[in-house]
Amino acid sequence: MRNKNLVYYKKTQPPEVKRKRTNRPNIIRPVIILVVLFLLAGSVCYTVYKAAPRVKAKIINFQVEGYSNWHYKTLEVSGLDAAHAALFTDAVSFKAGDKVSTDDCRKLEKRLSNLFVDVKDIKVKRGLFTGKLRISAKQRKGVAVLSGPWAVLKVIASDGMVYPVFEAQSAASLPVVVIPDINEGEDLSKVSKEFVQLVDGINAVKKDIDFKTLYIDKEARSAKVLLEGGNIIDFGKADNLAEKAKISSKILDYGNGKVKGPFTVNLEYYSGGKAYLVPQKN
């Protein structure tokens, strides 16, 4: 007897048997990729090979006809104050339309370096298409004024270079250094790195001892400072400056009003724990 409520009937099928994946590698795809990459690399190399002679010819032509025929139009000076920039401008003799070569730039750099020893890192470059000659430089930073047997005052720069004072105002705030063992007539154009470090070290302790003149030997082995009023601090060996400055400040406070001045604070034997307050001989 049929079931009247049955509307759909599907015969059951046997379960589907999945095919097992094989572990055999598929080498076709990597081979195709390698062939494509090889063809691309070959086409690039061929293009470069064909284009190289033309590129080389254009570069040579540009060097001969273009950059080597560079003509001066305007000047730009950077990195200097207004006074130095004006002097640099006056020192450039090129006129509008003059042909300027790389060798001309190097010669100008050398000439400016000889003229302005208080300036360093001078570079002269040509603008590629503008016709503008660019000069860049840095002013040396003075750390002290060097007083000696010369007609003019000189400045000691942070890199050790010694040069005449360019402007009196620029050196007014710098301490004065005297080198007692310099020979008369000896021209000093540079001091050692140790000398500059010693000057910087003494400047760093100025808050403890307000001095006006430094006395340092050429080898920077010993140092003295002359204070306002004529008192002297003899550091002896140029080491432990910060400690010696603090001790000197205390000794000065003790000596003022108790010891007839001017006097000298002698720290020559500081390493042995001794410091002396010695009246100066008239």
Dihedral pair phi/psi, residue 145, rounded to 5°: -95, 130
**Contact assessment for residue 217 and residue 248, using Cβ atoms and an 8 Å cutoff:** no
Domains of the chain (ranges plus CATH)?
A: 69-139 (3.10.20.310), 142-279 (3.40.50)
Three-class SS of 162-225 = EEECCCHHHHCCCCEEECCCCCCCCCCCECCHHHHHHHHHHHHCCCCCCEEEEEECCCCCEEEE
**Contact assessment for residue 141 and residue 128, using Cβ atoms and an 8 Å cutoff:** no
To the question of pTM greater than 0.85 for the whole model, the response is no
Structure tokens at 16: 């589907």
**Contact assessment for residue 222 and residue 216, using Cβ atoms and an 8 Å cutoff:** yes
One digit per residue, the tens of pLDDT, for the chain of length 282 reads 455 555 445 556 666 655 655 555 567 777 788 888 888 888 888 888 888 877 776 566 555 544 567 889 999 999 998 989 999 999 999 999 999 988 999 999 999 999 998 899 999 999 877 889 999 999 998 888 888 777 778 899 999 999 888 765 567 788 888 888 777 667 788 888 888 888 888 888 777 777 878 888 878 788 888 887 788 888 888 888 888 888 888 888 887 777 777 888 888 888 888 888 888 776
pLDDT at 42: 83
E strands along 36-84, which residues?
74-78
Looking at the chain, how many residues does it have?
282
Separation CA 34–CA 209 (nearest Å): 79
> DSSP letter at 239?
-
Give the sign of the dihedral formed by CA 44, CA 50, CA 56, CA 57.
negative
- The string of DSSP letters for 246-273 reads HHHHHHHHHHTTTS-SSEEEE-TTGGGT
Separation CA 141–CA 131 (nearest Å): 32
Give the distance from CA 94 to its chain's centroid: 30
**Residue 230 CB contacts under 8 Å (≥ 6 apart), including other chains:** 261, 262, 280
